[in-house]
Chains A and B, each alone.
Chain A
Amino acid sequence: MSGVRVLVGTKKGGFVLSADGTRKDWTVSGPFFAGWEVYHVKGSPVDPNRLYASQSSGWFGQVIQRSDDGGATWAPVGNKFAYEGVPGTHQWYDGTAHPWEFKRVWHLEPSLTDAETVFAGVEDAALFKSTDGGDNWLELAGLRGEGSGCSTLAPQWQPGAGGMCLHSILLDPANADRMYIAISAAGAFRTDDGGLNWKPINKGLVSNMIPNPTAEVGHCVHHVAMHPSRPDVLFMQKHWDVMRSDDAGDSWKEVSGNLPTDFGFAIDVHAHEPETLYVVPIKSDSEHFPPEGKLRVYRSRSGGHEWEGLTKGLPQKDCYVNVLRDAMAVDTLDECGVYFGTTGGQVYASADAGENWAPIVRDLPAVLSVEVQTLA
Chain B
Amino acid sequence: MILPQHLRTLAGVDGEVALEVAVPVTVRRVLDALEAQHPMLRGTIREYGSGERRAFLRFFACEEDLSHESMDAELPREAAEGNEPLLIIGAIAGG
Contact = CB atoms under 8 A, between A and B. Distances in A.
Contact of A59 (B40, B49, B57): B57
A36 B93 CA distance: 13
A76 B54 contact: no
B91 interface: yes
Interface in A62-117: 62-63, 76, 79-82, 102
A80 B50 CA distance: 12
B4 A59 contact: yes
Contacts of B45: 60
A35 interface: yes
B43 interface: yes
7 contacts: A58-B56, A59-B56, A60-B10, A61-B44, A61-B47, A79-B44, A80-B42
Given A60-B7, A63-B10, A80 B48 contact: yes
A57 interface: yes
B21 to A, nearest CB: 22
Nearest to A34: B9
Contact of B40 (A35, A36, A57, A76): A76
Contacts of B42: 79-80
B54 A60 contact: yes
B45 to A, nearest CB: 8
Interface string B31-75: 000000000101111011100001011000000000000000000
Taking chain A's interface residues, is the majority helix, strand, or loop, or is none over half, making it mixed? loop
Interface residues of A, number: 15
B49 A63 contact: no
B48 A63 contact: no
Contacts of A61: 43-44, 47, 54
B91 A59 contact: yes
B6 A57 contact: yes
A93 to B, nearest CB: 19
B76 interface: no
A58 B40 CA distance: 17
Contact of A82 (B6, B49, B54, B56): B49
Q: Which of A36, A58, A80, A82 has the most CB of B within 10 A?
A: A58
Interface in A4-59: 35-36, 57-59
Contacts of B7: 60
A132 B54 CA distance: 27
B44 A63 contact: yes
Interface string B77-93: 00000000000001101
A102 B93 CA distance: 22
Given A59-B91, A60-B6, A80 B57 contact: no
Contacts of A35: 6
Given A60-B90, A62-B43, 17 more contacts: A35-B6, A57-B6, A58-B93, A59-B90, A60-B7, A60-B10, A60-B44, A61-B44, A63-B10, A63-B44, A76-B10, A76-B40, A79-B43, A79-B44, A81-B48, A82-B48, A102-B48
Nearest to B46: A61
A238 to B, nearest CB: 29
A128 to B, nearest CB: 13
